[in-house]
């Protein structure tokens, strides 16, 4: 277990991410590859994209992305190619499909809901009558007298 943690930590401390020898000569393609890499997860790391990771698997994936781009794939096709082989887990940006609508919709839906409740509350406050002052309790009256006497 201890060793496993150490190995994981090793991956988590990327001394190196993209290596010079991986980079494509065409700067436009390379930029696209970098951009795509930022959205793909290094599968053996903790919460890191393959662009940042120095794990060998991440390097393989980076090379694969570049290979697909050189082969003429569009961005979507290249990502699809990788998702087909490595599963949905590889996407750092979850797709808005199936149950994931809940994830993407959570913020806007909650805002609508909370906004509605908030609006009803505010309207209630703006039409409410100011309450009459509550009389002091015996304790409070005693304390007040105490303070006033000083």
Residue 5 or 71 with smaller CB distance to another protein = 5
Residue 72 or 130 with smaller CB distance to another protein = 130
DSSP 8-state secondary structure symbol assigned to residue 91: B
Euclidean distance between CA atoms 130 and 126, whole angstroms: 10
Least distance in angstroms from the C-beta of 93 to another protein: 4
Least distance in angstroms from the C-beta of 128 to another protein: 5
Least distance in angstroms from the C-beta of 31 to another protein: 11
Name the helix (H) or strand (E) containing 114: helix 100-127
Residue 42 or 69 with smaller CB distance to another protein = 42
Least distance in angstroms from the C-beta of 143 to another protein: 8
Residue 72 or 146 with smaller CB distance to another protein = 146
Q: Which parts of this chain interact with another protein (CB under 8 A)?
A: 5-6, 8-10, 12-20, 23, 38-39, 41, 46-49, 52, 87-94, 98-100, 102-104, 106-107, 110-111, 114-115, 118, 121-123, 125-126, 128-131, 150
């Amino acid at each position: 277990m201890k060793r496993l943690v150490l190995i994981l930590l090793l991956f988590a401390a990327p001394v190196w991410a993209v290596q010079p020898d991986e980079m494509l000569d065409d700067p436009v393609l390379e930029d696209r590859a970098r951009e795509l890499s930022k959205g793909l997860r290094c599968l053996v790391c903790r919460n890191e994209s393959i662009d940042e990771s120095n794990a060998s698997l991440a390097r393989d994936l980076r090379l694969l992305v570049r290979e697909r781009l050189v082969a003429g794939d569009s961005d979507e096709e290249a990502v699809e190619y990788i998702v087909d082989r490595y599963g949905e887990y590889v996407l750092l940006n979850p797709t808005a499909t199936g149950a994931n609508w809940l994830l993407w919709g959570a913020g806007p839906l909650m805002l609508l809901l909370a906004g509605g409740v908030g609006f009803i509350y505010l309207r209630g406050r703006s039409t409410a009558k100011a309450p009459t002052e509550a009389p002091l309790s015996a304790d409070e009256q005693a304390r007040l007298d105490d303070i006033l006497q000083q």
